[in-house]
Structure formats: structure tokens, C-alpha cells
Amino acid sequence: MTVSTLDPKTALVVIDLQAGVVAMPTVPHTGPEVLSRAVALAEAFRKYDLPVVLVRVSFQPDGADAAGGRIDGGPAPAAPRPAGWDVLASELTAPGDIVVTKRNWGAFHGTDLDTQLRRRGVTQIVLAGIATSIGVESTARAAHEHNYHVTLATDAMSDRDPDAHRNSIEKIFPRLGETGTTAEILELLAKTHG
């Protein structure tokens, strides 16, 4: 389904566009391409005084605050991350943005994201970021469960695994909300708020 409506109180939520994530190889869009589209969305949301939420993932150097539990994929690599890997892309940030730091895949669990959105009367979120099948999908699922209308900017997200990206876009997202390109969302935003 193509995006049809943006509520009067819609927020942009951008997942993990930070130095270490944007630099990873991703498909079908590169990190810089995703970042460029997210910047365009953020600028438009700010123009209409709509909330922009920048979510970043970060952990203590020893990983003590990272999510645990046994998984088939084995333990996460213990190699230290380079300094600054969790710094949000500077071209994306602006004064007044809401910054949420998460320690999980999704941006709702263990953060104040829901509180920040509800205090502002937000009823819908537009999602972008990396990785499609991990942080973006986890956040979309939780947003849907929290009764937000969810819109997914499909060309403003990417993944390390092309099959996982395609599965999220084609099979999961249509069950959680509406999808559209950055251009379609920007056009609808201008019609709704312009």
C-alpha cells in the first residue's frame, strides 16, 4: 500500500544514522544515500514544526549494558568499537531534535521514546534508518503495538542483507503500516501541512 495519510501530529523517527552504522556496506542503498534522504525528511518535518527523533544505539565499552540472552548466532563480537562510532551524523542533527539512546534493536523498549511522542500528541510516525530488518523493523513492530500509525520511507532505509531488507519491505511492513518513498512522503507532507 502506498502512503495515503499523514496525521496532523506526525513525527519522523530516524534509526541509527550514526558514524559506525552509516559507514557499513548496505543494500540496496548506501549509508550516505539513506542519510541524504533522511536529512531531506528531517528538514521538511522541522519546516512544519513536527518532531524529529534521532535514535542512536550505544553501549558501554565493555558491553555490559547490551541485550543478552542465548542466540543461535553465537555471542556478539567482543571487539571494541572505534571511538565515535555511535555519534549521530552531524548533517542530520539540529537544535530541538529529540535524541533517544537505545541498547536494543528497537527504539521503544528501555527508552523514553513513547513518552516523548505522547507528550507531543503524536499519533503517527514516519520511520527511516539502518538496518531495515533490525532496528527499523523492531521499532515499526513496537510502534504498531503502541497504536501509532506507521509509515515507512522505503528508500530511506537499507540493510546488510538484501534478502532481509526485501522481506521487511515486502512481507512485514505492509502488515504494520503504509510504505512510500521519500518523495511521496515529502509530497504528502507538503499537501497536509503546507
191: which 3 cell numbers?
A: 499537501
- Rounded to a whole number of angstroms, the distance between the first and last alpha carbons of the chain is 24
81: which 3 cell numbers?
A: 568499537
Distance from C-alpha of 167 to C-alpha of 96, rounded to nearest angstrom:
34
Measured CA to CA in angstroms, residue 181 lies from 12, 36, 184 at distances of: 14, 13, 5
User: Which pLDDT does position 84 carry in this prediction?
Assistant: 81
Enumerate the domain spans of the chain: 10-60+85-193
Which CATH code of 3.10.20.30, 3.40.190.10, 3.40.50.880, 3.40.50.850 fits the domain covering 10-60+85-193?
3.40.50.850
**pLDDT tens sequence for the chain (194 residues):** 589 999 999 999 999 999 999 999 999 999 999 999 999 999 999 999 999 999 999 865 555 556 666 657 665 555 667 778 899 999 999 999 999 999 989 999 999 999 999 999 999 999 999 999 999 999 999 999 999 999 999 999 999 999 999 999 999 999 999 999 999 999 999 999 98
Q: For the segment 69-85, what is each residue's pLDDT rounded down to a tens digit?
A: 665 766 555 566 777 88
Q: Which strands make up the sheet holding 52-57, listed edge to edge?
A: 98-102, 52-57, 10-15, 124-130, 149-158, 178-180
User: Which pLDDT does position 63 carry in this prediction?
Assistant: 58
